[in-house]
């Protein structure tokens, strides 16, 4: 894909709407977050929609003040939200973590703030953020988010594959435990943050209350139990990735999502598995790398999916 020229003056506002926090960012035309503002989501059962709109409004107002001081005016707002999204009607169809259903957030934010608004899924947004920062710009790119759940965003020839990427519900063990989706042995039960924590804690003793950052750190330092658990999870994730590569001819994979960011152990295990079990001609040149963006990934992606 041809590189486009950047307009230094243009700013956009990206909003990452998640179950615990809402992060807003002013994003320049090259896809860099030049200012950020974050507030808790405060989603409650009955008042979620109102609370979310108010919080987004506060964040946007703060970012507009910042932009004004710099003599710049943001041109539009992009919202990346958790849940099932209808991008054409700019509606959150269903998001359990936000406590909303059929919420026409795009229309309502546009009305409240008098700026053009578009809406996308947060994992898709993250995929676009990572893809647009790549120098290689591979034509079949997959971003995988490993956190409380597991999701994927697939970028094919510069465009996101809408509605695809339920990687966390790919079966990796048909005889495995029952999942909320109705299937058995879904990947999220083997390679999500909570799944790895549960496994580590089973050993008891000093492992009894261990959380992911410490597990990753101990694995890096050579702790065999933590290494075993991470290795097993990496292999399950690797299995799902190999299946994805064979189906979609993906040639570049980036893993983000927060729980694995500090350490090479997990990544090297995933990459080794992928290289070993992908069909030879498809494995050529394939890479598995950690995400470049950290907390601001969804907010940056919310706007760059439109540029
Ligand atoms: Zn499932």
What is the CA(185)–ligand 1 centre distance, in A? 7
Let me know if the fold of 11-126+296-304 is the same as that of 137-290: yes
Where in the chain are the domains?
11-126+296-304, 137-290
Q: In this predicted structure, what is the pLDDT of residue 58? A: 97
Residues of the chain with pLDDT under 50: 1-3
Please provide the CATH number assigned to the domain covering 11-126+296-304: 3.30.420.40
Measured in Å, residue 166 CA sits from the centre of ligand 1 at 9
Q: How far is the CA of 202 from the centre of ligand 1 (A)?
A: 23
Please answer whether residues 27 and 300 qualify as being in contact, where contact means their C-beta atoms are separated by less than 8 angstroms. yes
pLDDT of residue 5: 64
Residues in the 5 Å CB sphere of ion ligand 1: 169, 179, 181, 183, 186
Cα dihedral 170→270→252→280 (10° resolution): -90
Residue 77 and residue 6: Cα distance in Å, rounded? 18
Contact yes or no for 106/99 (Cβ under 8 A): no
pLDDT at 307: 54
Domain 137-290 in this protein, CATH class: alpha beta
pLDDT at 2: 44
Given a contact cutoff of 8 angstroms between Cβ atoms, the answer to whether 255 and 292 are in contact is: no
In the block, which residue shows the tokens 């974050």? 38
d(CA 98, CA 184): 26
- C-alpha of residue 206 to centroid of ligand 1, in Å: 31
pTM given for the model: 0.91
């Amino acid at each position: 894909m041809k590189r486009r020229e950047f307009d230094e003056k243009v700013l956009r506002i990206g909003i990452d709407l998640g179950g615990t926090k809402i992060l807003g960012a002013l994003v320049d035309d090259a896809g860099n977050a030049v200012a950020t503002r974050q507030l808790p989501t405060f989603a409650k059962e009955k008042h979620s929609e109102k609370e979310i709109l108010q919080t987004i409004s506060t964040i946007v107002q703060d970012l507009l003040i910042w932009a004004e001081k710099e003599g710049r005016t943001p041109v539009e707002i992009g919202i990346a939200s958790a849940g099932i999204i209808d991008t054409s009607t700019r509606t959150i169809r269903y998001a359990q973590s936000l406590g909303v259903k059929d919420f026409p957030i795009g229309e309502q934010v546009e009305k409240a703030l008098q700026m053009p608004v578009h809406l996308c899924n947060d994992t898709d947004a993250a995929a676009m953020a990572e893809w647009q920062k790549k120098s290689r710009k591979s034509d079949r790119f997959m971003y995988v988010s490993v956190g409380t759940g597991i999701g994927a965003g697939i970028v094919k020839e510069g465009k996101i594959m809408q509605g695809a990427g339920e990687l966390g519900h790919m079966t990796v063990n048909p005889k495995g435990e029952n999942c909320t989706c109705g299937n058995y042995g879904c990947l999220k039960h083997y390679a999500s943050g909570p799944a790895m924590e549960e496994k580590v804690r089973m050993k008891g003793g000093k492992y009894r209350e261990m959380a992911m950052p410490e597990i990753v750190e101990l694995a890096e330092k050579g702790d065999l139990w933590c290494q075993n658990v991470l290795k097993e999870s990496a292999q399950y994730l690797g299995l799902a990735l190999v299946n994805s590569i064979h189906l979609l001819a993906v040639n570049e994979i980036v893993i983000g999502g927060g729980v694995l960011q500090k350490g090479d152990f997990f990544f090297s295990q995933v990459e080794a598995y992928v290289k070993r079990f992908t069909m030879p001609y498809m494995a050529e040149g394939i890479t598995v790398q950690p995400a470049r963006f950290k907390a601001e990934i969804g907010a940056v992606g919310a706007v760059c999916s439109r540029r």
